[in-house]
Amino acid sequence: MSFDTLGLHETLTRALADAGYENPTEVQSRAIPPALEGRDLRVSSSTGSGKTASFVLPALERILAARGDNTKRRDKSMTGPRILVLAPTRELAQQVAKAATDYGRHVQGLRVVTVVGGVPYGAQLKALRGPVDILIATPGRLIDHVQSGKALLEHVEMLVLDEADRMLDMGFIDDINFIAGCTPAARQTVMYSATFAGHVGRLADELLRDPLTVDVASHTDTHENIEQRLHWADDLTHKNALLDHLLTGREVEQAVVFTSTQVDADRLADRLGEMGHAVAALHGGMPQGRRNRVLNGLRNRQLRVLVATDVAARGIDVPTISHVINFGLPMKAEDYVHRIGRTGRAGRSGLAVTLAERRDVVMIKRIQQFTTQQIPVATVTGLEPRQPEPRIYPGRPDGGNRGPRFGGKPSFGGPRRDGFDRGPRRDGGFESRGPREGGFEHRAPREGFAPRPDGGHFGGPRPEGRFERRPEGGFGRPHGGGHHAGAPRDRSPFERRADGPQGGGFDRGGERSGPRGPRFGDRQDNRGGFGGERSRGPRRDGGWDR
Mean pLDDT of 326-350: 85
- pLDDT confidence of 463, banded at 50, 70, 90? very low
* 79 & 198 share domain: yes
More confident residue, 311 or 187: 187
Q: 433: buried, middle or exposed (CB in 10 Å: 19+, 13-18, 0-12)?
A: middle
> How many Å apart are CA 232 and CA 4, to the nearest integer?
50
Q: State the average pLDDT over residues 213-237.
A: 81
Q: Which residue has the higher pLDDT, 356 or 168?
A: 356
Q: Does residue 64 or residue 509 have the better pLDDT? A: 64
Instruction: Please tell me whether residues 289 and 363 are part of one structural domain.
Output: yes
Tell me whether residue 526 is in a domain. Answer: no
Distance CA 292, CA 147 (A): 27
Helix/strand/coil (H/E/C) assignment for every residue in 138-159: CHHHHHHHHHCCCCCCCCCCEE
Q: Which one-letter DSSP state was computed for residue 311?
A: G
d(CA 155, CA 134): 12
One domain, residues 105 and 140: yes
Q: Are residues 236 and 98 in the same domain?
A: no
- Confidence band (pLDDT; 50, 70, 90) for 75? low
CA distance 112 to 98: 9
Angle between helices 139-147 and 173-181 (to 10 degrees): 40
Residue 390: inside a domain: no
pLDDT of residue 234: 93
- Same domain as 236, residue 137: no
Same domain flag for 351 and 423: no
Helix (H) or strand (E) holding 59: helix 51-67
Contacts made by residues 147-153, CB under 8 angstroms, sequence distance 24+: 150/125, 151/80, 151/115, 152/79, 152/80, 153/80, 153/81, 153/84, 153/179, 153/182, 153/183
pLDDT at 355 over 90: yes
Q: CA 205 to CA 274: how far, in whole Å?
A: 52
Predicted model pTM: 0.58
Query: pLDDT class for 433, splitting at 50, 70, 90?
Result: very low
Contact 327, 233 (CB under 8 A): no
Q: What is the pLDDT of residue 510?
A: 40
Element (H, E) at 132: strand 131-137
Same domain, 173 and 231: no
Structural domain ending residue among the three candidates 195, 215, 235: 215
pLDDT band at 119 (very low <50, low <70, confident <90, very high): confident
Sequence-distant (6+) residues with CB within 8 A of 419 are: 435
pLDDT of residue 312: 64
Residue among 214, 136, 143 at smallest CA distance from 180: 143
pLDDT at 207 over 60: yes
Q: Which pLDDT score is estimated for 394?
A: 56
Across the strands, what pairs with 161? Answer: 86, 191
Q: What is the pLDDT of residues 340-349, one digit of tens each?
A: 888 887 678 8
Mean pLDDT score, 64-82: 68
Q: Identify which of 101-105, 125-129, 409-413 has the greatest average pLDDT.
A: 101-105
SS3 544: coil
Q: Which domain holds residue 261?
A: 226-371
**pLDDT for residue 113 is more than 90:** yes
| Mean pLDDT value across residues 422-434 | 47
Read off the DSSP letter of residue 522. Answer: S
Instruction: Choose the final residue of a domain: 169, 184, 215.
Output: 215
pLDDT of residue 477: 44
Is 323 inside any structural domain?
A: yes
Q: Per-residue pLDDT for 481 more than 50?
A: no
Asked if pLDDT for residue 314 goes beyond 60, the answer is yes
Bigger pLDDT: 251 or 225? 251
Q: How far is CA 496 from CA 179, 492, 504, in A?
A: 37, 8, 8
The residue that leads in pLDDT, 333 or 495, is: 333
Mean pLDDT of 204-219: 84
> Are 81 and 103 contained in the same domain?
yes
**Does 97 or 396 have the greater pLDDT score?**
97
> Does the structure show a pLDDT above 50 at 134?
yes
CA separation for the pair 150, 129 (Å, rounded): 8
Residue 376: predicted pLDDT: 92
- Cα distances from 88 to residues 138, 142, 163, 322, in angstroms, run 6, 12, 7, 25
Predicted local confidence at residue 197, as pLDDT: 77
Please tell me whether residues 76 and 194 are part of one structural domain: yes
pLDDT digits (tens, 9 = 90+) for 515-544: 444 455 544 443 444 433 344 444 455 544
- Taking the mean position of all CA atoms in its chain, how far away is CA 266? 20
Q: Are residues 182 and 245 in the same domain?
A: no
In the listed set 193, 215, 237, which residue is the last one of a domain according to the structure?
215
Q: In this predicted model, what pLDDT tens digit does every residue of 152-181 receive, in sequence order?
A: 999 999 999 998 888 887 888 899 999 999
DSSP string over 394-459: TT-TT--S---STTT---TTPPPTTS-EEEE-TTSSEEEEPP-SSSPPP-PPPTTPPBPTTS-BTT
- State the Cα–Cα distance between residues 435 and 420, nearest whole angstrom: 5
Q: Are residues 175 and 256 in the same domain?
A: no
Find out whether 235 and 306 touch, Cβ atoms under 8 Å. Answer: no
Residue 503, in any domain of the structure: no
**Cα 361 to chain center, whole Å?**
19
The CATH number covering residue 196 comes to: 3.40.50.300
Confidence of residue 292 (pLDDT cuts 50, 70, 90): confident
Residue 341 maps to a domain: yes
- Burial label for 517, CB within 10 Å (0-12, 13-18, 19+), is middle
Least confident of 74-83, 86-95, 209-218, 298-307: 74-83
Residue 512 lies in a domain: no
Q: Report the candidate in 466, 471, 464 with the shortest Cα–Cα distance to residue 485.
A: 466
Q: 187 pLDDT exceeds 80?
A: yes
- Residue, of 420 and 34, whose pLDDT is higher: 34
Mean pLDDT of the chain: 76
Return the pLDDT at 392: 77
Query: How far apart are the two ends of the chain, measured CA to CA in Å?
Result: 41
pLDDT at 383: 93
Name the pLDDT band for 135 (thresholds 50, 70, 90). very high
Residue 403: predicted pLDDT: 41
**Average pLDDT over every residue of 102-125:** 90
The percent of residues above 70 in pLDDT, for the chain, comes to 67
Is residue 351 over pLDDT 60? Answer: yes
- Asked if residue 387 is part of any domain, the answer here is no
Least confident of 191-205, 358-372, 429-443: 429-443
Residue 315 has pLDDT above 70, yes or no: no
Beta strand pairing status for 80-86 and 112-115? unpaired
- Based on the fold, state whether residues 153 and 279 are members of the same structural domain: no
Our count of domains for the chain comes to: 3
User: Of 255-264, 305-314, 336-345, 453-462, where does mean pLDDT reach its minimum?
Assistant: 453-462
Residue 24 belongs to some domain of the structure: yes
Q: How far is CA 462 from CA 148, 259, 457, 476, in A?
A: 60, 52, 10, 10
Is 80 exceeded by the pLDDT of residue 54? yes
